[in-house]
Structure 1
Amino acid sequence: MAWVARFLDQLKHALVPRGRVLLDICRLCRGVDLGMTLNQALAELLPPWDYAYYRERLCEERGLLDHDSSCLAPYLSVEHTVPAMLSVVGELFGVRFDRMTPETWDPRLTLREHVDMFAVWDEGVDEHAFLGYLYLDLFWHHGKTKTGMVAYTRPICVGHTATASGTRKYPSVCLVLNLAPTNPVLGFHGVRTFAHELGHCMHVLFQQVTHAITSGRHLGSDYVEIPSHVFEHMFLQRDMLKKIGRHRAYLDADAMRAWSAAHPDATCPPPERIPDELLQTTADSLAFLTLYGNLGSL
């Protein structure tokens, strides 16, 4: 594990100085606001309750996006982006997501409104191709926590576990968000959260273990979180955002008419895909916010 220690040490030496510079900038801004001298401002600790304020302020001054921006959100709708992300996972890992409805599967199947159920299949093998079930419960409803954009996975039958009889116990996993039903938009933060939790879901669905205690999220945090962070990093790349993003106005004719009615002065429709300049701003913003989000550890 010596190489891990060396790698972490390299990250520390590369990132800590940049973080300290940014932290000093925040202290100086706060010092100006409070009428402090230069030495007083740099000697003061940045209170935890000021982090969000100066994050937004620095983003505005630098022309960056603070988490979800109104100019990016229309390109990341639930209707298009979620199927696009599942399609990417299918292409990368050779799996298929079959949406299950009473009409296509079983008349006795009953799902809450806005909840989708998928049977997940491994298309790379002929035998035991079924992997498990994936549920998407993305919108807030009565009985769910009201905390915005909280996501978690809920393994029902954890792991791909062999029973005493030699049969398989297949997993069911539920990905839960709390989006507003009246505004079905993931936005940038929602894509990040969905990607993270989708990583947990696929981790569970791909596992083949003998004992359920060694599956899912029962293991060490590094082992559990690596797939999710890989998914986050993958889906937040510029090329990937371009692939999974599409303006809501292009979903159907009604959506375009609604957009036109809301923008009567527009001379042309919006770009169908996320513009390159917006993608660049998003990439710059992500780098800044990632660094800023770790200032508390300095």
Structure 2
Amino acid sequence: MTSNPLLANWDSPFQLPPFSEIEPSHFEEAFEVAMAEACAETDRIADQEEAPTFENTVVALERSGESLTRVARTFFNLTGAHTNEALQKIERDIAPKLAKHGSDMLLNASLYGRIATLWDQREDLGLNAEDSRVLERYQKMFQRAGAGLDDAGKARMAEISQRLATLGTGFSQNVLKDESDFQLVLETEQDRAGLPDFLLASAAEAARERGLAGKHVITLSRSSIEPFLQFSTNRALREEAFRAWTSRGEKGGDTDNREIIRETLALRAEKARLLGFRNFAEYKLDDTMAKTPDNVRGLLTKVWQPAVAQAREEEEKLAEMARGSGENHSIEAWDWRHYSEKVRKAEHDLDETELKPYLQLDNIIQAAFDTATRLFGITFRELKGLPVYHPDVRVFEVLNPDGTHKGLFLGDYFARSSKRSGAWMSGFRSQHKLKGEVTPIIVNVMNFSKGAQGEATLLTFDDARTLFHEFGHGLHGLLSDVTYPMISGTGVARDFVELPSQLYEHWLSQPDVLSKFAVHYKTNEPMPAQLLEKLLAAANFNQGFATVEYTASALIDLELHLLDDPAELNVADFEKQELGKIDMPAAITMRHRIPHFQHVFSGDGYSAGYYSYMWSEVMDADAFGAFEEKGNIFDPETAEKLLTFIYSAGGRQDPEEAYVAFRGRAPKIDALLEKRGFAA
């Protein structure tokens, strides 16, 4: 028996972590014990006398490390969504230790020898398709970690992995510190000029949470700062807020990320060379659908050119609108959203203040659930009184069509200073069948501005789209139906993982969904048909801007990881030079500037891979066409294929094969260009 709740058996409902019993200090002991246990399990697998079989090696590895997985998932979900100084200190300490633990396993010669033997014998092992896929993933994972290198190479790979883990942790903590330290307090009527009631209400709530009751505070959460930039008529404050937002990670002092970036890029380049690749981009893309940097650049360039042309047309309209308002200044980055909102109002008779009363958070959650019910037959019921890590977290049981338990879904929707920015899906437990039917516990984390006490939380349409996007990821985890943890849910190629999420966004924009769930938060009246028509007609408004800010980030990410010698990189100069090469409009800033580009530098998940959203968008635009061609966005036959080959399949098969199995052919880029309003 142990007094450490992380190491005890969890008898809480659905085996949720016993959050109320967990103290930060528990993690230090739990990681130490769980890593030792996992090491012992790995050594037993590697050193056994029996000849390697799929069961005693691959399946054994899939069964091992259960305690460590449980502790790590609980810990990193907390450090992302509800952290504190004690957890951050542990995170800085544990990151290199976990990296060393991973390296020790993946560079274990005896263990790799068993995997390699099985790989050589794979045609004679009688494996089914899923077994074969898992063996293939293990073989590739060991090779890409450096298992085939000599002793000196292995030692250096281990050193690099540990240092990169430390750097990634520091990068993300620095960005969070810059975000949480900033608050724009609106003291006067001039400070609040132009702000609609919904933004003032959320700014008042943000102030109350920061001990400034009676005041109004704008934070660096997108749901706070973006509407401020849209509606504030105080241009000086717009500039102040925008500069704070875009200078995260490069303010000098302890939170400056530029040295971290240089060292990270240099270590990644060295790692790639050790493994026989010319640069990190080639290494990273070798295990994706895209395969090569040239393929990535080709896609991004094809979209970039029409996007820039459209953005310049949009900019001229903004300048004309500014001149019409008596403003003769050029359009700057902190002006774009402000005048864009005015142009949208003029061209489409549509503004955010009209839409937002119809986009209640609770209703959009129900819209996402209802869409899943109509597509896949699953249902949701909210459960109260279960252990959660913050009072704002909501828990829903997910039920199969026959009413049996499918999994748990946690929704954590509101911004707070203890949460990193952005939105994401994660899991406390993945679905698999190695120990009976293990059901998933999936969480969506958002950063929406909370409504005033007692008032509904209202979303922008972009917020609503984000919710549908992350719920698409959530369904990828909840609907998973595979045997092995390695390929469960989102365990797929990085440039395939965004397909289920981006595809799911399409249903939000359908009249069939909006007409049912977009109802006024006070009157409960449905969104007027005329307003709904205006919303849908404006779907591609400002698309040049949106495409340019994203694609610029993706191109810069690629170029950073093609550098031969990044150790001497001047981050600001590089960013300026590369944006100049691609003719970046001066009035648009990258969606994620390099010093706070967490997708790329808080770990290497999207490093040389930020293009993945667009790669997947080629598929999602084409995939939704399968429903449109049937004349029914909930067509049962198409939905069944979508479930079988995409949402439930995890990484069971090659992603290209999975897409073709669903669609009957490879995707066409024309659908993407049409979706974004560009000529094919």
* Unaligned segments of structure 1, at least 5 residues: 2-8, 34-46, 103-108, 252-271
Deviation at 1:274, TM superposition (A): 1.1
Alpha-carbon shift at residue 195 of structure 1 (Å)? 0.1
SS in 1 for 2:446: strand
Pick aligned residue for 2:458 from 185, 196, 216: 185
CA distance in structure 2 between the aligned counterparts of 1:154 and 1:82, rounded to whole angstroms:
17
What's the counterpart of residue 283 of structure 1?
Answer: 536
Match of 1:194 among 434, 453, 467: 467
Partner in structure 2 of residue 93 of structure 1: 376
- Give the corresponding residue for 2:342: 60
* Contact map agreement 2:308 2:544 (CA 8 A) in 1: no
What's the offset of the Cα at 1:52? 6.1
By how many angstroms is 1:221 displaced? 2.7
Q: How does 1:110-121 map to 2 (within 5 A)?
A: 110-111=387-388, 112-121=390-399
Matches within 5 A, 1:114-263: 114-123=392-401, 125=402, 129-141=404-416, 143-145=418-420, 147=421, 150-158=422-430, 160-163=431-434, 166-183=435-452, 184-250=457-523
The Cα offsets for residues 159-218 of structure 1, whole Å up to 9 and x where unpaired, read as: x2112xx41221111111122333411231221010000000011111112221212333
What is the SS of the residue equivalent to 2:519? coil
Closer, same or farther in 2 for the Cα pair 1:94/1:180, shift >3 Å?
same
Deviations 1:97-151 (A, max 9, x none): 121123xxxxxx333323211111111x58xx42211001112346223x4xx21
Matched-pair contact (CA < 8 Å) for 1:74–1:187: no
Give the C-alpha shift of residue 239 in structure 1: 3.3
Q: Which has the higher contact order (CA 8 A, sep 6+)?
A: 1
Q: Secondary structure at the match of 2:445?
A: strand
Alignment RMSD (CA, Å): 3.6
| Counterpart in the other structure of 1:5 | none
Instruction: With the length of structure 2 as denominator, give the TM-score of the two structures.
Output: 0.32
Question: Alignment partner of 1:222: what SS?
Answer: coil
Q: Alignment partner of 2:379: what SS? A: strand
Letter matched to residue 120 of structure 1: V
| Aligned-residue offset at 1:237 | 2.3
Q: Structure 1 or 2: larger strand share?
A: 1
Q: Which secondary structure state, in structure 2, belongs to the residue aligned with residue 71 of structure 1?
A: helix
Percent same amino acid at aligned positions? Answer: 24
Determine if contact 1:67/1:189 at 8 Å carries over to the other structure. no
Cα distance in 2, alignment partners of residues 23 and 186 from structure 1: 26
Cα separation, partners in 2 of 1:182 and 1:218, compared to 1, 3 Å = same
Secondary structure at 2:481's aligned position in 1?
A: coil
Deviations 1:261-298 (A, max 9, x none): xxxxxxxxxxx111222222222332123343113547
- Give the CA deviation at 1:31: 8.6
Number of residue-to-residue matches in the alignment:
242
* Residues in 1 aligned to 2:521 and 2:318: alpha-carbon distance in whole angstroms: 40
Deviation at 1:85, TM superposition (A): 2.7
**Counterpart amino acid of residue 152 in structure 1:** W
Structure 2 distance, partners of 1:67, 1:196, is 24
User: Quick one: structure 1 residues 176 and 52, their matched pair in 2 at CA, closer, same or farther if it must change by over 3 Å?
Assistant: same
Task: Say whether residues 1:22 and 2:297 are aligned partners.
Answer: no
Cα offset for 1:29? 6.1
| Gapped regions of structure 2 (runs ≥ 5) | 1-288, 290-297, 322-329, 552-581, 583-680
Change (3 A) 1:30 1:249: closer
SS of residue in 1 equivalent to 2:443? strand
In structure 1, what is the Cα distance between the partners aligned to 2:397 and 2:353?
Answer: 34
TM-score calculated relative to the size of structure 1: 0.68
Residue 53 of structure 1 deviates from its aligned partner by 3.1
CA contact (8 A) 1:118 1:134 kept: yes
1:65, 1:32 → 2: CA distance?
Answer: 16
Tell me which residue corresponds to 2:90: none
Work out which of the two has the higher radius of gyration on C-alpha atoms and give 1 or 2. Answer: 2
